[in-house]
Amino acid sequence: MAVFTPVSEDDARSLLTEYALGDLVSLRGIAAGIENTNFFLTTTSGEFVLTLFEVLTAAQLPFYIELMHHLAERRVPVPQPQTRRNGTRLSTLHDKPAAIVTRLPGGYEPEPTSIHCRLAGQTLARAHLAAQDFPIFQPNLRGLAWWEQTAPVVMPFLDEQLGALLASSLLEQRTLARTHDWHRLPRGPAHCDLFRDNVLFAGTRECPQMGGLIDFYFAGCDTLLFDVAVSVNDWCIERSSGALIPERVHAWLDAYASIRPFTTVERSAWPAMLRGAALRFWLSRLYDYYLPRPAQTLKPHDPRHFERVLLSRTHGPIPALPKEY
């Protein structure tokens, strides 16, 4: 359950006095999520989501909140943070930072088809282009520096074979990050966590419509190709093996490239970027599995899933990025 901090209807009514969003109609807790307390908030002016941030501090939040606002203002379908009467978009409730954002239509698709992949690829490309003039910089906090810090912590829990996989994978990423071509990769604000459960679809499974991209709280400035690799490693795979499904991969990448064509440097970096994206989530799942936070109430994800994904990207076939649309 992702309601760690109780919020009463009276609490919500008091909070709403800071906004021009009408009067409270209903308040309902949302079970999904890992780190934040979330409620569906309905008022006389529309439907919203109220979030209380349980881990991130008020000082850490402006990048995420303002990035969503920036994208929404440019008609990218993301939750739009609502502005308070005093002109700010962050509030406080029960001594926790809080925000109210628009509620997007639809739900997530656990078994996406090529149609879903095309819609997601197009929308991420639109977000990347729209964010190019976003003025706030924050690095991807789960990038290479975090991998370097985390690998020695989880290494003692791995057997010799998996330890060798982790060491060789990290060495590849460290070496590539020092090359001239790696620094020529297009960069900008990136979602960095665009798994299938962070995209909403309206319509039907056969004729889906984009509802929007959600949960930007792992976002940061990184290579745009890393964002693509994170997505493809989740959207376009066989769950049991981690192997890529070529039909979905081509649908996802062709749709993205129709909005933002890939560069020559990106096409060269693609296989290694897929391995880096798999390494990032293998590391985070290893850490959460073997070193859970004391207050963690949800069962950690099985790290063996991204172990399989990384092995597949290391030894299996990888479809190339499209050269031109």
pLDDT digits (tens, 9 = 90+) for 256-306: 999 999 999 999 999 999 999 999 999 999 999 999 876 445 677 899 999
Phi, psi of 98 (to 5 degrees): -140, 150
pLDDT of residue 55 exceeding 90: no
For residue 2, the model assigns a pLDDT of: 59
pLDDT digits (tens, 9 = 90+) for 148-159: 999 999 999 999
Strand runs labelled E in 153-307: 187-190, 199-203, 208-213, 220-223
Q: Do residues 82 and 101 touch, judged by C-beta distance below 8 A?
A: yes
Identify the three-state secondary structure at position 156. helix
Calpha distance 201→116 (Å, rounded): 8
Q: Angle 246-259/224-235 helices, nearest 10 degrees?
A: 150
Q: Do residues 325 and 256 touch, judged by C-beta distance below 8 A?
A: no
Identify the three-state secondary structure at position 314. helix
Phi-psi region at 223: left, alpha or beta (left = phi > 0; alpha = psi -120 to 50): beta
Q: Does domain 114-315 have CATH number 3.90.1200.10?
A: yes
pLDDT digits (tens, 9 = 90+) for 313-325: 999 999 999 986 5
Q: Where are the domains of the chain?
A: 9-102, 114-315
Mean pLDDT of 17-24: 98
CATH number of 9-102: 3.30.200.20
Q: Which tokens belong to 105?
A: 């239509």
For residue 294, the model assigns a pLDDT of: 60
| Cβ-Cβ contacts under 8 Å for 197 (sequence gap 6 or more) | 32, 108, 110
Could you tell me which residues are beta bridge partners of residue 40?
28, 49
Please spell the DSSP secondary structure of 70-110, one letter per residue: HHHHTT--SPPBPPPTTS-S-EEETTEEEEEEEPPSSB--S
Calpha distance 227→186 (Å, rounded): 11
The secondary structure element, H or E, covering residue 50 is strand 46-53
- Mark 48-67 as b/e (b = at least 16 C-beta within 10 Å): bbbbbbbebeeeebebbbbb
